Amino acid sequence: MKLGVRQLVKKMKKSRLVSTRLEEEAAKILEEIAREENIDKATLIRKWILSKITGHKLEKAAEGYQKGLISIEEGAKMANTTLWKFIEYIREKNIWPPIQTKEELEKELKETKRLLKQV
């Protein structure tokens, strides 16, 4: 997704500078990867950090789902992703909710059907 100049400026206004130190070898590897990817180091680092944040949110939401603390829908919201992407993630990780009673399953199925009709 390419951003226009106005969108980029608007997005940059909402950003905050974060810095860190790296060992020399790690910095060299970072530069090599940035060259391979044909992007600057800052963009590469930002891309990796955002990817890790997304992964962390998915992991935490999936953990809550697996423990039965939250529903699939709540997990998707918590991970800031779509219901379908969250379902895909928990399938890939082979994550299942705890065993539920028939009544609990029927209630969750009803709620899922209601939400899917909104999509």
Whether 7 is in a domain gets the answer no
Whether 104 is in a domain gets the answer yes
What domain count does the chain have? 1
Return the ∠ at Cα 20 (arms to 18 and 23), rounded to 5°.
Answer: 160
Whether 51 is in a domain gets the answer yes
Residue with tokens 């997005």: 11
Whether 62 is in a domain gets the answer yes
State yes or no: pLDDT of 1 exceeds 60: no
Whether 65 is in a domain gets the answer yes
Whether 11 is in a domain gets the answer no
pLDDT in the model for residue 2: 57
Instruction: Name the residue with higher pLDDT: 97 or 78.
Output: 78
Range of the domain at 98: 23-118
**Token pair for 72:** 């699939």
Q: Stretch 53-69: mean pLDDT, rounded?
A: 95
pLDDT in the model for residue 87: 95
Return the ∠ at Cα 75 (arms to 74 and 81), rounded to 5°.
Answer: 105
Whether 45 is in a domain gets the answer yes
Whether 3 is in a domain gets the answer no
